[in-house]
Amino acid sequence: MKLAGIKSVEGAHDESVWAATWVPATSSRPALLLTGSLDETVKLWKSDDLNLAGTNTGHCLGVVSVAAHPSGIIAASASLDSFVRVFDVNTNATIATLEAPPSEVWQMQFHPKGTKLAVAGGGSASIKVWDTSTWKLTSTLTIPRPEVPKPSDKNTSKKFVLSVAWSPDGRTIACGSMDGTISVFDVAREKFMHHLEGHSMPVRSLVYSPVDPRVLFSASDDAHIHMYDAEGKSLVSSMSGHASWVLSVDASPDGNAIATGSSDRTVRLWDLKMRAALQTMSNHTDQVWAVTFCPPGGTGVRGGRLASVCDDKSISLYDYS
Amino acid sequence: MASVYIPVQNSEEEVRVVLDQLPRDASDIIDILKAEQASLDLWLIIAREYFKQGKVEQFRQILEEGSSPDIDEYYADVRYERIAILNALGAYYCYRGKIETIQSKREEHFIQATKYYNKASRIDMHEPSNWIGKGQLLLAKGELEQASSAFRIVLDGDRDNVPALLGQACVEFNRGHYSESLSLYRRVLQIFPDCPGPVRLGIGQCQYKMGHFERARKAFDRVLQLDPENVEALVALAVLDLQTNEASRTRKGMEKMRQAFEIYPYCPMALNYLANHFFFTGQHYVVEQLTETALAVTNHGPTKSHSYYNLARSYHSKGDYAAALRYYNQSVKEIKDKASDFVFPYFGLGQVQLKLGDINGAMSNFEKVLEVYPDNCDTLKVLGHVYAQLNETEKAQEVLKKATKIDPHDAQAFLDLGELLIMSDTATALDAFKTARSLLKKSDQEVLVEVLNNIGVIHFEREELEVALEAFKEALGNGVWLRFLDVKSKTTAADAGASILQYKDVQLFNRLEADGVEVELPWNKVTPLFNLARLLEQLHNTGTAGIFYRLILFKYPGYIDAYLRLAAIAKSRNNLQLSIELVNEALKLNNKCPNALSMLGELELKNDDWVKAKETLRAASEATDGMKDSYATLALGNWNYFAALRNEKRNPKLESTHLEKAHQLYTKVLLQHKSNIYAANGAGIVLAEKGNFDVAKDLFTQVQEGASGSSFVQMPDVWINLAHVYFAQGNNALAIKMYQNCLRNYYHNTDCQIFLYLARTYYEAEEWQDCKKTLLRAIHLAPSNYTLRFDAGVAMQKFSASTLQKEKREANEVRSAIVELENAVRVFSQLSAGANLQIHGFDEKKINTHVDYCKHLLEAAKVHLEVAEREEQQKLQKEEAERQMSLAEKARRKAEEQRKFQLEKRKKEDENKRARQQDEDFERVKEQWKSSTSSASKRKDRLDIIDDDEAGGHSGRRRKKGGGKRRKKDKSSKFSQYEEMEEGEAEMDGHEGDDGHGSYYREEKDPAPQDLLAAAGLEDSDAEDEEAAAAAIAARRRRALSESEEDEPVEEEGKQQQAGSPESGEMQVSDGEGAAASQQHHHQDNDVDAGLDDED
């Protein structure tokens, strides 16, 4: 297992790049890399040369997250002003604009089958689930508040929801909060199931293993990556090595590795068998806000691809093999 | 059978006296001698015979009788014999004196001897034998000069007088003039070749002293040939043998010593050497007996000194240091403190003193040894050790460096040097350790764990982490820890990481033991393991580090530092509950442990438990015993400082009390530790707090310089403080740069608080877009901090307002202002909606005011936009018209020019061609002209467009200028309503400012309340911009601050204040404590080595 740099684009955006995801390949085109930035734009890039395929404007304040529909036809981007814009990837036509005030918008993810879009709702301590055919809000999964609020808790921002992830079977959603707890929900019954404990600092990124629906990876500001048995509620492993916040985690499609991006300016590849860092990429010069593996399928892209985006305005592409 | 015959008086008969059958009672003989009036020489012969037979008493009796007054009278004219008798007596007493060990009796004997010699010289003062006797006596008394002159008197009379020559040789020998002595002995041998052995002894000793060992040996051998029982010769030969240091010779030498001892058991030299021998064979009882005998039989200083030395050494090796000290002192006393004569006892003395804790005494003794042997490595090393203990580091370094230079293969010397330098000069220390390590390896000796540990620690300190890792691994060697270190075998260990949170969980180790793995941790590996864990923490491998700490605790449950490190790890992961639990665990072991208490205090502070924290810190401060450890004091200072700023009601009196107290505490620490940068930083903050920016700046700059020297000290706070000072003094550019550097270098750009400072500075510098971007970044980092959103809204509002107030603005500017206003409205509305849910602490009314204001501005802006757009439109139209006009104008002009040109051309052509084909040509030219005008006009068109653009630009600008005034009027009318409101507020604020100006003013200028100011400043910026148009900057600030105090979410401030500076405390706990731990380990190692030293 190893990563090899293929291409980097300096100044890919005019400002810090904060979000990235791959838009899966369709019959007519290969997979595209979708990035969002503080410069209020969303850009599409063709692999492997990272040629700019399109620039979407229309957001105000920075773009904090992007998500791609599994079909590869539509994608969503969200900005600090709490609007979600759903658009057609090929035409950049706006399909819907979503907002659920006063809930903000942080991380988003489409259901594995594409029927729903889950959005981390920030201070509302909830996940908003939207139907992707009608673009109506179908449910709000709220983290239950502690029955007896402590007097020292002067605000409830501790359960501020930052990150969200669908299990590969689409039955459960996990979300990470500012206080480090991870909450797991049963989507069908719209019911909170349990917390996963272990972090005490914000959990900024979550991802399920693509091969094992029980295994959940979390990235936290405490510089650790945790591996949970999301159903058994237990912490399986804790991986340390980053020198600062872990901002993003993604699992490789083969399920053998995970990649992480951190404030310590590195991208790391972790071997899940050894549960240790295999490789550290230090090509970025600032915080690495997102790492994302290219989903398999489509033509034009050989082998595995990993992309990372950084506060230094650059984006990088690696070969994963 | 020899016999003498005493002639019977008045007859021919003689009395035959068989010499070996002399009667026991000498008075029989005396009677005969007296009765027969025997000649005095017979008296002498018989007395001598007695002497030879060892019957000294009889000898003395006869001679005393022979020198009695009657005899003197009777034999008055027999001069020579009488002198001889007296001389014999003198020699006898002289000998008695020589062998007498009791000083008083010795004196007595010498007095007796002197008496007899004097008596003899009264008979004949020129008798040489008398002089010789006197000389011998003086020699025995040690009066070399007088002895020499006595012998000279003899020799002047008779050059070849053997006894005098011998005496003189002896004098020269004792004077240390060995070659003179030798030549005298040689003279004796020439004159009197059959002389007895002792003469050759003298020669041998001279040769020996002169270093001619082989010749000396020959001489001694000759003595032994002549007299096989000559003890001196035997001893001398034995010494020669022993000095060769060869095993066989040594054995022979000891054999000779034994022979000598058997022949004469009282020869001190032999006794000493034998004692020496038995010392090395470990038979201490024999040593003591021998030396005691030797001491009893000699008075010779150096010999006695040697004996005492042997005795002392024996006690020393038996561990009886008090006795050893006594005898070493005796030994030193015997040689009259002349170290050059016999230096060993000084070394022993030094060692014993070192052992008994008399370091100064030891130092002076070792220094004496060093004077004699300046290149002795052992002495240099032990002196180095002594100097180090006396804190004379420079001297210690000097001697140890010398030792390593003299013997570059002495690993121990390098180790000592390394240990000495480890605190001061790590680079040299590291080199020393490395040399020691390679030396030990070369000689196949085991490298001590401590050495490797120290090498690791130095590399660690120098941030050569990988090398340090290797060193620690080498120090640890094989053991259970390898299972956790090795990535490959990690599968078993991996699950361990998961249970990191259950620090008490020893299942991991139990399971390993159940699997048949030995979980052992030898005592001397604890320190390297701890250091390795610290290193792993530094390498961010906290998982494995945690396992190691737990392993240490599993085996050594009393290892407090391991608890503290586990607590620090938990703390860095923000798991305060676990951290507190761990610290309490440590406190259970030692409830006075200052480190644990300090840490607990820090944690309580972080947990917002102010009162408790103060108590804990006080306890810590008391536990450090008279405030030797400044950490707790420092923490208390910080506590007071935070308390000063935290006060929600902002009671100025309380605030200044707290500040004063903080200042006192910082100063206290500074007095104890001049170079404590944390205290200096604190003092700087208090100074800045009071408005002494220049002094504070100096302080901070110095702290910054101090902190940059060491990799273990990281002090981002001082950068922030400096930036605050620059900000307060209006140097925004520099402040921005410093904030940015600090963020990048120390916080991985993750500290939203500093982003807030940065934004505040941009705001002040009126860099609205940068301010907004900075705030957006901060929001991205800290999404749940709604204050940041509020601030972002304010920044956008301010940007729009200031754009709209500009005299000149383009429609684009107005448009972007509108966009920002819309954003601001959205941000404020969202906050307003959120207010119902209580997700932040803002007052809804206040937010709504902002919303309304922004909306109002927005409406106004829309009008502005219409105006601007209309103007733009008009301008465009006008420009278009002008362009058209000028286009036409230019076209006309060009056409004109062209026509002229063509006319001229035609003229010429006309001239040329008129004569010939006038008519035809005219027609052709006409054709030409037509086509050229059409192309030329096209060209003209293009030119005109360019010109037009330029002209349009000019006119546009000009027009805008004109329009500016008009619009200003518009604005003033439209905004008047608002301005009134603002003025009202401003007045109110002004009052407040006056009332409490003391505190407010200070507040305002104050950079150091780290977060407060920036936060407050930004938050009340809304107030600011409402007044912005009218107020002067200073007044504005003051008002702003006073307002901020009223309606800003004070709790937020409180929080932020805590966040800023406690870092310094935290840094110190984690790193300082780690350093303390490693220091402690150095000390440990030192002790071990000190233990080794003494055995030398």
Q: Which of A155, A223, A311 sits opposite B838 (nearest CB)?
A: A155
- State how far the Cα of A189 lies from the Cα of B611, in Å rounded to an integer: 47
**A residues 94-133 near B, CB within 8 Å?**
101-102, 104, 106, 122-124
Q: How many CB atoms lie within 10 A of CB B47?
A: 28
Residue A223 included in any domain? yes
Residue pLDDT, tens place only, B209-257: 777 777 777 777 777 777 777 777 777 777 777 777 677 777 777 777 7
Average pLDDT (B723-729) is 88
Residue A42 included in any domain? yes
Q: Do A104 and B822 touch (CB under 8 A)?
A: no
DSSP H or E stretch at residue A147: none
Note down the domain range covering A83. Answer: 3-143+156-320
Residue pLDDT, tens place only, B763-784: 988 888 899 999 999 999 988 8
Q: Do B490 and A235 touch (CB under 8 A)?
A: no
**A residues 259-318 near B, CB within 8 Å?**
263-265, 273-276, 286-287, 311
- Does residue B287 have a pLDDT over 80? no
Please classify residue B207 by burial: count the beta carbons closer than 10 Å to its beta carbon, then call 0-12 exposed, 13-18 middle and 19+ buried. buried
Share of residues in chain B with pLDDT > 70 (%):
77
Residue A126 phi, psi dihedral angles, 5° rounding: -145, 165
Residue A122 included in any domain? yes
Q: What is the ipTM of this complex?
A: 0.93
Specify the pLDDT at position A119.
94
Give the closest-approach CA distance of A163 to chain B in angstroms. Answer: 11
Question: What total of structural domains would you count in chain A?
Answer: 1
Q: How many CB atoms lie within 10 A of CB B188?
A: 24
Specify the pLDDT at position A284.
93
Q: Do A15 and B773 touch (CB under 8 A)?
A: yes
B776 contacts in chain A (CB < 8 Å): 38, 61-62, 80
Specify the pLDDT at position B1048.
35
For the record, the structure tokens of B653 come out as 């009196």
A196 contacts in chain B (CB < 8 Å): none
Residue A62 included in any domain? yes
- State how far the Cα of B1046 lies from the Cα of B850, in Å rounded to an integer: 17
Tell which of B466, B501, B574 to mutate to test the A interface (max A CBs under 10 Å).
Answer: B574
Specify the pLDDT at position B802.
85
Angle between helices B677-689 and B652-672 (to 10 degrees): 150
Given pLDDT bands bounded at 50, 70 and 90, which one contains residue A132? Answer: very high
Share of residues in chain B with pLDDT > 90 (%):
1
Specify the pLDDT at position B1066.
35
Cis amide leading into B921 (omega within 30): no
Residue A148 included in any domain? no
DSSP H or E stretch at residue B335: none
Residues in contact with B730: Cβ distance below 8 Å, sequence separation at least 6, in sequence order = none
Gyration radius from chain B CA atoms: 55
Residue pLDDT, tens place only, B93-117: 877 777 776 777 878 888 888 888 8
Report how far apart, in Å, the C-alpha atoms of B426 and of each of B187, B420, B705, B936 are.
67, 10, 20, 86
For the record, the structure tokens of B271 come out as 């006794």
Given pLDDT bands bounded at 50, 70 and 90, which one contains residue A146? Answer: low
Give the closest-approach CA distance of A160 to chain B in angstroms. Answer: 6
Residue A257 included in any domain? yes
Residue whose token pair is 């401590």: B450
The type of residue at A13 is H
Concatenated DSSP letters of B52-98: HTT-HHHHHHHHHHHTSHHHHHHTTT-HHHHHHHHHHHHHHHHHHHH
Residue in chain A lying closest to B546 (CA)? A240
Query: Lowest mean pLDDT: which of B365-369, B576-580, B820-824, B990-994?
Result: B990-994
B822 contacts in chain A (CB < 8 Å): 60
Give the closest-approach CA distance of A240 to chain B in angstroms. Answer: 5
A102 contacts in chain B (CB < 8 Å): 830, 833-834, 836-837, 839
Give the closest-approach CA distance of B824 to chain A in angstroms. Answer: 10
Residue pLDDT, tens place only, B895-921: 888 888 888 888 887 777 777 776 676
Residue in chain A lying closest to B485 (CA)? A276
Q: Do B833 and A101 touch (CB under 8 A)?
A: yes
Which letter, b or e, does each residue of B258-289 get, where b requires 16 or more Cβ atoms within 10 Å of its Cβ?
ebbbeebeebbbbbbbbbbbbbeeeebebbbe
Domain with A312 in it: what CATH number? 2.130.10.10
Residue whose token pair is 């030329």: B936
Residue A27 included in any domain? yes
What residues form DSSP beta bridges with A277?
A: A270
Residue pLDDT, tens place only, B558-578: 888 888 888 888 888 888 888
Residue pLDDT, tens place only, A58-98: 888 899 999 999 999 999 999 988 899 999 999 999 999 99
B576 contacts in chain A (CB < 8 Å): 200
On the CB side of B678, CA atoms within 13 Å amount to 25
A58 and chain B in contact, CB less than 8 A: no
Q: Give the angle A233-A238-A239 at the CA atoms, nearest 5°.
A: 150
Nearest CA-CA partner of B332 in B319, B317, B343: B343
Q: Indicate the SS3 state at residue A321.
A: coil
A234 and chain B in contact, CB less than 8 A: yes
- Does residue B149 have a pLDDT over 60? yes
Residue pLDDT, tens place only, A16-49: 999 999 999 888 888 899 999 999 999 999 887 8
Give the closest-approach CA distance of A27 to chain B in angstroms. Answer: 36
Residue A150 included in any domain? no
Gyration radius from chain A CA atoms: 18
B748 contacts in chain A (CB < 8 Å): 243-245, 263-265, 287
Residues in contact with B475: Cβ distance below 8 Å, sequence separation at least 6, in sequence order = B449, B452, B453, B456, B525, B528
Average pLDDT (B908-936) is 66
What SS3 string covers A16-78? Answer: CEEEEEEECCCCCCCCEEEEEECCCCEEEEECCCCEEEEEECCCCCCEEEEEECCCCCEEEEE
Specify the pLDDT at position B1067.
33
Q: Which of A198, A234, A237 sits opposite B494 (nearest CB)?
A: A237
Tell which of A215, A275, A312 to mutate to test the B interface (max B CBs under 10 Å).
Answer: A275
